[in-house]
Amino acid sequence: MKYPSTSAIIRAFRLLAVAEAFSWAALLTGMYFKWIARTTELGVEIAGPVHGALFIGYGMAALVLWRLQRWPFAVALFAGLSAVVPFATVLFERWADRRGHLTATTAPAADAATAGKREEAPAHDRAVEQTPAR
């Protein structure tokens, strides 16, 4: 399976970490109005599915980064657990960034292959490629 560039996935992961935290806030607010104030269920009906989608997106991005960045199992586990605790995704994202887990670390040859670019062949190989077959 071919993934987008590592830097794009890191940007998406960072965005999802913050969005997931905001969706937690919206869901908790909706739960207050549903269960404590007993006024409306609208907040839970809207924030629930939004939070669920962001939760799944964050989890998928964490799994992809675990593979691409070769995170140790403990880092991937903390990424998953942070999605369960309200607002912890932002704390995890900051921690992982400080530790260097959210830095695109790919070799130049891998970047060229990922981007679909062909490296230039040496001059003697190009001459062989350009000579017509008899």
Give the residue extent of every domain in the chain: 6-130
The model carries a pTM of: 0.75
- What residues contact 67, with CB distance under 8 A and at least 6 apart? none
Closest CA to 78 of 28, 4, 65: 65
Least-confidence region, from 39-43, 55-59, 103-107, 108-112: 108-112
Give burial (CB, 10 Å; 0-12/13-18/19+) of 104: middle
* HSE-CB of 91 using CA atoms within 13 angstroms: 10
- pLDDT (tens digit, 9 = 90+) per residue, 39-95? 999 999 999 999 999 999 999 999 999 999 999 999 999 999 999 999 999 999 999
Closest CA to 58 of 125, 114, 12: 12
